[in-house]
Structure 1
Amino acid sequence: MLKKRIIPCLDVKEGRVVKGVQFVSLRDAGDPVELATFYNEQGADELVFLDISATVEGRDTMEDVVRQTASTLSIPFTVGGGIRTLEDMKRMLRAGADKVSLNSAALQNPSIIKEGADYFGSQCIVVAIDAKWSAEEDTWMIYTHGGRNRFERSAIEWAQQVAALGAGELLVTSMDGDGKKTGFDIALMTALRKVVNIPLIASGGAGNAEHFYEVFTEADADAALAASIFHYKETSVQQVKDYLRNQGVAIR
C-alpha cells in the first residue's frame, strides 16, 4: 500500500504567497522561498506552487521565483499556473520543478496532457481540477481561471478523460470547501475514486488533523493538500503526521 502524503500549497500572486476563502478575499501569507524552506524542514512530503494569476493575466509562470523556491527544496516540487505548452513545461522543469500542474490549458487543449506524458512521463503531469457542486446538474462542475469561469463539463467525466490521456495524478480542489476549514469534500473524492485509479490529491477545506484522517480513510485519497492551517501556524505538518500515525494511517 502506498503511504499517504501531506502537501502544503503555496498560492502565489505577484511574488507573494496568498490565501483566501472560496478563491476570493486573498490575504498575504508570506514569502514563497521562506515558506518553502520552512516546509522542507518541517517534513512535508511534497510542495505545490501555484501561480494563481498567471492564466488570468495571460502571462507565463514566474520562472525566477520558481527557481529560487526550488533551490531550497529536497522534496518533490509541483508547479502550476500559466503552463500552456510543452515548452512551458520544459522551462518549469529546468527551473527546478519535478512535476507540472495543468488546469485551464488542459481543458482548452486536452492533447497537451498526452504530449506532456509522452515526452516527460506520466509521473511529471498533474492535472488540477477546481470543482464546485451544481444542484441543477446534480454533479460537480469545473471552473477555470482561478475559479472565475465555469466550464460546461462535469469533474467526474473530465477526470476519466484526463486519466485516459496519461496524467499521473489529479489535484482536486473543492471550491465549496476552499478556505472554510470544515473538512475535505469526501463525497467528491469518493466519486472520483470510483472512476479513476491514478493518485488523487484532495484540496480545499482542511481545518485540523482529523480532516486528513477522514479523507484518507473514507475517500481513499492518496495525498491531502492544505494551505492556511499551515501558513498561519494553526497546526503543523509534523502535528498532522503524528496524529495520523497514532490513528494507524501509513504515512511517509
Structure 2
Amino acid sequence: MQTVSTNRSHGGTQGVYSHASRETGTEMTFSVFVPDHAPGEKLPVVWYLSGLTCTHANVTEKGEFREACADLGLIFVAPDTSPRGEGVPDDGEGAYDFGLGAGFYVDATVDPWARAYRMRSYLERELPELIGAEFPADMTRQSIMGHSMGGHGALTLGLRDPERFRAVSAFAPIVSPINCPWGVKALSGYLGEDRVLWRQYDACALIEDGARVPDLLVDQGTADTFLDGQLKPELLRAACEKAGQPLTLRLQEGYDHSYYFISSFMADHLAWHAERLDA
C-alpha cells in the first residue's frame, strides 16, 4: 500500500492510498478517514460505495462525513467505482453509464470486461483484507452505505453477506437494476443475457429469493431527475413488504440526486450505523 496523501481533519486523519490489486490487475485508489483513538483501540468500519462517474474523491471531498465519524468513532472507507489504467477496457462510445467509473460492483463474466471488472471480489475479499491489516479497524463491526449505483452496491453486498455487515443504508439507490435502463445495460454488458445470473446483483430479486438483513434505511429525494426512470424505490418497498423485510424509506421533499442531498443526511445515516455497530 502506498500513501498518496494525508490531511488532518476533525481530530482525525483523512488519507488517500493506492495499491496493486490482485483482483482487477490494476492500481486501485481508495480513501480512509480514521478518527483519533486510544493506542491499540480498534474502531468499527463504515464502507461507502459511490455512484456512476465517481471515484473515491467525490464523497471524500463533498460528503461531509468526517465530523460525524470523529464524534462517533467510525472509520470511513471509500473505494473507487471501477478499475482504471492503461489497458482497462471502456465503453466504445465513452458513455458515462458503462465501463470506467461504472463497474456496478459486479464480477464481470463477459470478455473483455471479465479480466479487470471484478469489483465484487475486490470489495468482498481483497480490500477488507488490506483495511484490516493496515488500519486500526475492528473487522467484526462493519456496515455499508452508498449512493445511486453505489446504493445498489451497498444493498446487494449487504443482503448477500448479513454476517459481515451489521447495518445497510443507501441514498437514492438503484434498487432493481433488472428493471431500469442503467442496470439492463450494465448487467447485460458485464454478465451476458442470462437474467438468472443478474438476480444476485439486484436488491429486490435478492429479497424475493430469501435474503434478509435486520433493517434497511433508504433516503430518496423527491426532486431527483432519475427517480421514476432509474431508481424506482417503490419496487424496493413492494419487495420488502411482501417478504417482511424491515425497511425505512424516507422521501425527502425537494432534494435532488447530488451531494447537496447526500451531505444533508450523511450524519443521520452514520448515527444510525453507529447504533447498530455498537450493539
Report the TM-score when normalising by structure 2: 0.35
Using CA pairs under 8 Å that are at least 6 residues apart, name the structure with larger relative contact order, 1 or 2.
1
Structure 1 or 2, whichever has the larger Rg, is: 2
Higher strand share: 1
